[in-house]
Structure 1
Amino acid sequence: MKRAFTLIELLVVIAIIAILAAILFPVFAQAKEAAKKTVCISNSKQIALAMMMYATDSDDVFCPAAVNMDGQGDVSGKNGIHDGENGWKPYDMLILPYVKSDGLFTCPSDSKNWPGFGAGDFYDGEYLKKRVKRSYGYSGQIYTEAGGYEPDINTGIGTGGFYGADQPELRFKGRSATGIDQPADTVAFLENWLNFDGQYDSWMGCVYGSVFQSCDMQEIPGRTSEFDLPPACYYAPLVTTKGHTGGTVTLLADGHVKIIPWGSLRKDDFLLFKAIKPSN
């Protein structure tokens, strides 16, 4: 007659299984996230290639984050017919012919839902039905020669937004690739997921200049660390994500992609998000 397991023996087996699960499950999760990060890096590299191909076909001028298909600020000079309210054509549609798949604009680790914010601003009714979830935001000082509300004290370039309030004639005018100082050290795209409450998207795909938004172009007096920010420098809807383990997938203006730690992005924003670097 076979002896049955005692209660203690069963508890020991269960405990061993629980210990093994506690050890292995995090390993599996890390492996899964590593695979997602690899896909995210691959997506960014293909977007980088598309950005360079667009510039090659556009007299060495980078793609803007959006053009107005009504003809207001439209660098292409086309007056398009659209079903959206304002007719903005976002960057993903501008470079889609070069990437072929709109799935490249979504990081597999980005689990946020696509909200309705800004939906009426897109140029095409068909696009509204199939809006692309964009996990990658364009840096405002890369895609336009003028943007924002206040000129930077060092360069005269507008800070914060992309509307070009100081130089409206340059709204949405793509910047020449030769007009960027140190392109290998200038952010073009980075991961730009929704904020925690999921109420906002990246609107037309832009990061308004940097993770510091309206304070992006100014050195902040009294700042002693990369996390020492006044409240005015934080605008939750468009702030960049902390991304993956080890940092945020970042595409630089020369076309290369690398992982930059969150702290480094915040600490070095004064230079990383400037197309024209200060001379001093």
Structure 2
Amino acid sequence: MYTSKRNSAFTLIELLVVIAIIAILAAILFPVFAQAREKARQASCLSNQKQLGTALIMYVQDFDESFPISQYIDPISGAPYDWGNAIYPYIKNGTGTAYSPTVTLYNGEGGVFSCPSFPHAQICQYGINLCISHPYYATNPSEPATLAGIDSPSNRVAILEKGATSKVGGDNYSYPTFEVGQWNWAGYLAGVVDGSAQEAQMDLAYDFDRDENAPPDGYPGPGGMPRYRHNKTCNVLFADGHVKAVPRGRLSWAKNIYIPGLYERIPAAAQGAFYGAPY
């Protein structure tokens, strides 16, 4: 009696079915893996901000509850300092840049000053709120803000992560602060005044939620605005020291950015070079 022997190899159809199943599983799982990887990076970024917050609070306690000045130029060395250099002694973490044989700047680069999801090495990946950390201008000096001057520390943003700037000619400068102007958050809206809690003032008026390549967008651009790079959330340190991942659309200029009394004291950026404010 004749019997046929079945070929143990896959047929072409069976092979195509297996390939199709693998492709479907990959399409389902790869985004999940990417989100999980980004979640881990987000956790590392949150840890960075928590450490920055601890250092910031320690600085405030040591300097009569005053926040560091966001940026100034030393009148003797000419070195440009910012708030990262002010809190560095409390954190001892970050990459120093030799400005001169006697001056090393720690202006927010490397270590806890760097988000693992940031696309390239750049200073000031995190920006401080200009309301609480004023710059010091020679022709318009401004005293640093105090903790007592913040009406609701648990709601007011102190530090958040910003977009990357990679400009033409290799200029990767990023602002040490983030933009707090009402016009870039709420826009020129009819009937909206400083401190208004209208729902129309939610989130950004202009879309700078991206990283800048070239050419530059101009001020403030991505380097001066929040970046929701962690699965559409932005890591935020609040003035009371707690950190939180905030989804896009949940930051309100009136509730989280604007600080009555301190916002009005911000010196105009056109006042000239900033000098000599003591840390």
Question: Same-fold call, TM > 0.5?
Answer: yes
Query: Alpha-carbon deviation of 1:5?
Result: 1.7
1:1-280 alignment runs, 5 A limit: 3-70=8-75, 79=76, 81=77, 86-102=78-94, 103-114=111-122, 133-144=123-134, 162=135, 168-170=140-142, 173-195=143-165, 200-203=172-175, 205-209=176-180, 212=182, 220-221=189-190, 224=200, 226=202, 229=205, 235-236=220-221, 237-265=223-251, 268-276=252-260
In 1, the alpha carbon distance for the partners of 2:18 and 2:202 equals 49
% identity of equivalent residues: 35
Q: Which amino acid letter does the alignment assign opposite residue 58 of structure 1? A: F
Task: Identify which of structures 1 and 2 has the higher relative contact order when contacts are C-alpha pairs closer than 8 Å and 6+ apart.
Answer: 2
AA matched with 1:243: R
Seen in structure 2, the aligned counterparts of structure 1 residues 195 and 67 have a Cα distance that, compared at 3 Å, is closer
Deviations 1:177-215 (A, max 9, x none): 111111111111111122586865423x111325x5x55
AA of the residue aligned to 1:46: Q
Q: What code does the residue aligned with 2:158 have?
A: A
SS of equivalent to 2:58: helix
CA contact (8 A) 1:138 1:190 kept: yes
Structure-2 separation of matches of 1:186 and 1:246: 21
Please list the CA deviations of residues 216-257 of structure 1 after superposition, one character each: whole Å capped at 9, or x if unmatched: 6987326756478489xx831412212322521111111111
The CA deviation at 1:137 is 0.3
Letter in 1 for 2:235: V
| TM-score for the superposition, normalised by structure 1 | 0.68
The answer to whether the 8 A contact 2:72-2:136 is kept is no
C-alpha change, 1:97 and 1:228, in structure 2 (3 Å) is: closer
User: Which amino acid is the alignment partner of residue 62 of structure 2?
Assistant: D
In our comparison, the structure showing a higher alpha carbon Rg is 2
Cα RMSD, aligned residues only? 3.1
Q: Secondary structure at the match of 1:111?
A: coil
The ranges of structure 1 where at least 4 consecutive aligned residues each deviate by more than 3 angstroms after the TM superposition are 162-165, 195-201, 214-219, 222-231
Contact conserved, 2:67 with 2:147, CA < 8 A, in 1?
A: yes
TM-superposed deviation, 1:176: 1.1
The match for 1:130 is none
Contact 1:246/1:259 (CA < 8 Å) preserved in 2? no
Amino acid at match of 2:112: L
C-alpha contact (below 8 Å) 1:216/1:273 kept by paired residues: no
Calculate the TM-score normalised by the size of structure 2: 0.68
For residues 218 and 11 of structure 1, what CA distance do their matches in structure 2 show?
Answer: 55
Indicate the structure with greater helix content. 1
Query: 1:215 and 1:225, CA in 2 relative to 1: closer, same or farther beyond 3 A?
Result: closer
Q: Which residue of 1 aligns with 2:210?
A: none
Structure 1 unmatched runs, 5+: 71-78, 115-132, 145-161
Cα deviation digits, residues 14-38 of structure 1 (max 9, x gap) = 1111112112111111110110111
Amino acid at match of 2:189: I
